[in-house]
Structure 1
Amino acid sequence: MADQPYSLDMAARNDLTDLSHLRVIECSAVEFRGLNSSSAVVCCIYRPCGADFGIFLRTLEEIISKAIGHNNKQIFITGDFNVSLLQDSHEKSALLSMLQSFNIFASALAITRSQSGACL
């Protein structure tokens, strides 16, 4: 594989997945490594409706911090946080503030659930 210019190595990030809390936050994560020693972590996060937001936010912050590590790896976060980004709320402000502390910004700012008109 070393002589292929576009090959990637992939590894599950069980250290991040293990941070999941039953009925509060679920995380699945993989890390991709390119030939030029660059790497990126892709995390899929799910927060069930009504789950404790404080525990969710603290755990998400820990996941991001651990994923980025000391090498400032790129991170891509996908999933469903069950926090409306269309309505002002404490949860929205706290989530966006925490993400911005890592220089991460929400990209889904339009309606994601057509039946309810929500952006979650």
Structure 2
Amino acid sequence: AVHRVRYEDLHACPHATFAAIVRFLGLTAEPERLERAIAASAFAVLAGQERRAGFIEASRKSDAFFRRGQVGAWREALTADQVESIVGRHRPMLQRLGYLGAGGALTV
């Protein structure tokens, strides 16, 4: 089974999203442990860890894996042509994940 987690959901509702992940894994969502997990995975914490110790998943083409931690920051990072190319190639999946509105415009 697969449990889909969207960054936007983690950002908007971290407690509910983390609790759903824990339940999916068959674990008990103990409030204190959930709170610690959320705090430990906060953007500022992860970005700080990357600055201090590096991050194995980081791209060689980028200065950092954890860039800004903001929903919708892609609007400033990608050109209109890049967005058009991504949407053109991945439209069905973007729709399935709720990233495209009824008119086909990006919703995040």
Question: Normalised by the size of structure 1, how large is the TM-score?
Answer: 0.25
**Higher normalized contact order (CA 8 Å, seq sep 6+, divided by chain length):** 1
Between structures 1 and 2, the one with greater helix share: 2
Between structures 1 and 2, the one with greater strand share: 1
Question: Normalised by the size of structure 2, how large is the TM-score?
Answer: 0.27
